[in-house]
C-alpha cells in the first residue's frame, strides 16, 4: 500500500506500525510524489492525508479517481474535518480515518484498510462477473441471431422448392394448395427475418410484422380485391407473432377465395388494436357476401382447422363479429401470450 503524508515522522511511524500488522507500506511526502508513484507502480491501496503543501488531499483524490483502475483510497483527516471527510467520500474515497494519538490510531488504520481492501475486492469481483455475464449474453445473442438467420434461409429454400413444384403442376387445385403452403411458410419466415436483424430478440413489433405480411398477401390476391392494414403499436413474443401471422394469412386467404364472386371487386381490412385491459386484438374483415356459421366449411376446411388449433394454443378462439354486409373475424389475445 502507499501512504501519502507531508509529516515525515508520522509517515515513518505509520510504516513501522502497519508493517508489524502485516502490511507492506510505501510512503510519499507530497501529493505530486504520491501521484507519480501511483502512475509508475501498482498498489493495492492508498491512504492520503488532507493537509499537504501544494495540492491538498482532496486535489490528489480527484487525480487518483481519474486514473483507470485506480486502487481504493482511504482518506485521513483531523478531528475537526468531518465535512472534509464527507466531501472525500462523495469524491470517491472508500473510507476515512480521523487522526488520533497513540497505537489506537494504527489499530483503526489496520481495521479500516482491511475493510477497504475487502470491499474493493468484492467490487472488482462484481464488475468482473458482470463483464463475463455481458460477454456471455452477447455470445448467446449472436448464437440465437445466427439460428434465426439459418432458419430463415432454410425456409426460403423450402419456399423455392414449393414454388418450383407449383410451376410444374398443371392441376389448378394442386397449384392453389401449394400457393397456400407458400403463404404459410412466408408468415413464419418473416418473424425469423425480423429477429436476426434487430437488437431485441425477445419481442416483435407486431404492427410492422403484419405490415410486411399484408404486402406479401397483396401480391397473391385477385386483381379486383384490395387489402389494407390499420394497426397500432403492439409488441409480442416471437412465438405469438408466428401464430398471429399464420392466422391472419389463413383468414385473408379464405376471404379472398370465398367472400367475392369471380371478378367481383372487394376490400379486405386487417386491424390490429391494443386492448384496454391488456393484450391485443386482430380483426380480418371483408365487404363480401358473408357466411352462415352453421354452414359447412367451403373447400377442404384445412384453413379453418389450422386457425382453430393455433387460436387454442394462444388460449383464445376466433369470433365472428356482427357486421352489416361481409364478414368480420376477430382474434383477441390476452397479455402474457
Q: Residue 187: its pLDDT value, please?
A: 81
Task: Establish if 122 belongs to a structural domain.
Answer: no
> 333 with 208, same domain?
yes
pLDDT of 337 strictly over 70:
no
Instruction: Judge contact between 331 and 318, C-beta under 8 A.
Output: yes
pLDDT the model gives residue 84: 86
In a domain, 213, yes or no: yes
pLDDT value, residue 257: 87
Q: Among 30-34, 186-190, 206-210, name the one with the lowest average pLDDT.
A: 186-190
Give strand pairing partners of 271: 230, 283
Q: Is 22 a member of any domain?
A: yes
User: Which parts of 139-244 are beta strand (E)?
Assistant: 204-205, 225-231, 235-236
Q: What is the mean pLDDT of residues 238-267?
A: 90
Checking if the pLDDT of 293 tops 60, the result is no
Which of 75, 99, 123 is at the close of a domain? 99
Contacts of 225 by beta carbon, 8 Å cutoff, 6+ apart: 256, 260, 265, 266, 267, 268
- 93 with 207, same domain: the answer is no
What's 254's domain CATH number?
3.30.565.10
Q: What is the mean pLDDT of residues 195-222?
A: 84
In this predicted model, what pLDDT tens digit does every residue of 91-114 receive, in sequence order? 999 888 888 877 788 888 899 999
Average pLDDT over residues 155-165: 88
* Residue range 132-159: mean pLDDT, rounded: 85
Question: Does the pLDDT at position 259 exceed 80?
Answer: yes
Number of domains in the chain: 2
Domain-located, residue 310:
yes
Over residues 256-280, mean pLDDT: 91
Given pLDDT bands bounded at 50, 70 and 90, which one contains residue 298?
low
With respect to residue 337, please indicate whether it lies within any of the assigned structural domains.
yes
Of 54, 71, 99, the one marking the end of a domain is 99
The CATH number covering residue 82 comes to 3.40.50.2300
Which of 61-70, 154-163, 287-296 shows the lowest mean pLDDT across its residues? Answer: 287-296
Using a pLDDT cut of 90, give the percent of the chain over it.
Answer: 34
Q: How far is CA 107 from CA 20, 24, 72, 98, 176, in A?
A: 11, 15, 19, 12, 89
**Is residue 137 in a domain?**
no
- Tell me the pLDDT tens digit for each residue of 45-91: 999 988 887 788 899 999 999 998 889 999 988 766 778 888 999 99
The fraction of the chain above a pLDDT of 70, given in percent, is: 95
Domain end point (choices 54, 84, 99)? 99
In a domain, 224, yes or no: yes
* pLDDT reported for residue 53: 75
What value does the mean pLDDT of the chain take? Answer: 87
- pLDDT, residue 159, reads 85
* Nearest residue to 188 (alpha-carbon basis) of 119, 248, 278: 248
Domain match, 86 and 212 both: no
Mean pLDDT of 317-323: 88
Can you give the residue range of the structural domain that contains 43? 2-99
* Greater pLDDT, 191 or 108: 108
Do 336 and 214 reside in the same domain of the chain? yes
In a domain, 47, yes or no: yes
pLDDT of residue 265: 93
Checking if the pLDDT of 2 tops 60, the result is: yes
CA distances from 44 to 56, 178, 296 (A): 22, 71, 82
pLDDT band at 198 (very low <50, low <70, confident <90, very high): low
Amino acid at each position: 500500500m502507499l501512504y501519502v503524508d507531508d509529516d515525515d515522522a508520522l509517515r515513518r511511524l505509520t510504516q513501522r506500525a502497519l508493517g508489524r500488522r502485516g502490511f507492506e507500506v510505501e510512503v510519499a511526502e507530497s501529493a505530486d510524489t504520491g501521484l507519480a508513484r501511483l502512475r509508475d507502480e501498482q498498489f493495492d491501496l492508498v491512504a492520503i492525508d488532507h493537509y499537504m503543501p501544494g495540492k491538498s488531499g482532496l486535489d490528489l483524490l480527484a487525480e487518483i479517481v481519474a486514473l483507470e483502475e485506480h486502487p481504493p483510497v482511504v482518506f485521513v483527516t483531523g478531528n475537526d474535518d468531518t465535512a472534509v471527510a464527507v466531501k472525500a467520500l462523495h469524491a470517491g474515497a472508500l473510507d476515512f480515518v480521523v487522526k488520533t494519538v497513540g497505537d489506537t490510531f494504527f489499530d483503526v488504520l489496520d481495521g479500516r484498510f482491511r475493510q477497504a481492501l475487502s470491499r474493493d475486492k468484492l467490487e472488482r469481483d462484481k464488475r468482473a462477473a458482470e463483464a463475463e455475464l455481458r460477454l456471455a449474453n452477447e455470445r448467446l445473442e449472436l448464437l440465437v441471431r445466427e439460428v434465426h438467420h439459418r432458419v430463415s434461409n432454410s425456409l426460403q429454400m423450402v419456399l423455392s422448392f414449393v414454388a418450383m413444384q407449383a410451376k410444374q403442376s398443371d392441376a389448378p387445385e394442386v397449384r392453389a394448395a401449394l400457393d397456400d403452403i407458400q403463404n404459410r411458410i412466408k408468415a413464419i419466415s418473416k418473424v425469423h427475418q425480423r429477429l436476426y436483424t434487430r437488437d431485441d430478440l425477445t419481442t416483435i413489433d407486431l404492427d410492422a410484422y403484419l405490415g410486411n405480411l399484408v404486402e406479401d398477401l397483396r401480391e397473391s390476391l385477385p386483381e379486383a380485391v384490395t387489402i389494407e392494414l390499420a394497426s397500432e403499436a403492439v409488441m409480442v413474443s416471437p412465438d405469438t407473432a408466428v401464430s398471429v401471422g399464420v392466422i391472419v394469412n389463413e383468414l385473408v386467404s379464405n376471404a379472398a377465395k370465398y367472400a367475392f364472386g369471380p371478378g367481383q371487386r372487394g376490400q379486405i381490412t386487417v386491424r390490429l388494436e391494443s386492448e384496454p385491459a391488456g393484450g391485443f386484438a386482430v380483426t380480418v374483415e371483408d365487404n363480401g357476401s358473408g357466411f352462415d356459421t352453421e354452414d359447412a366449411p367451403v373447400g377442404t376446411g384445412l384453413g379453418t382447422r389450422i386457425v382453430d388449433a393455433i387460436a387454442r394454443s394462444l388460449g383464445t378462439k376466433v369470433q365472428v363479429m356482427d357486421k352489416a354486409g361481409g364478414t368480420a373475424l376477430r382474434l383477441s389475445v390476452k397479455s402474457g401470450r
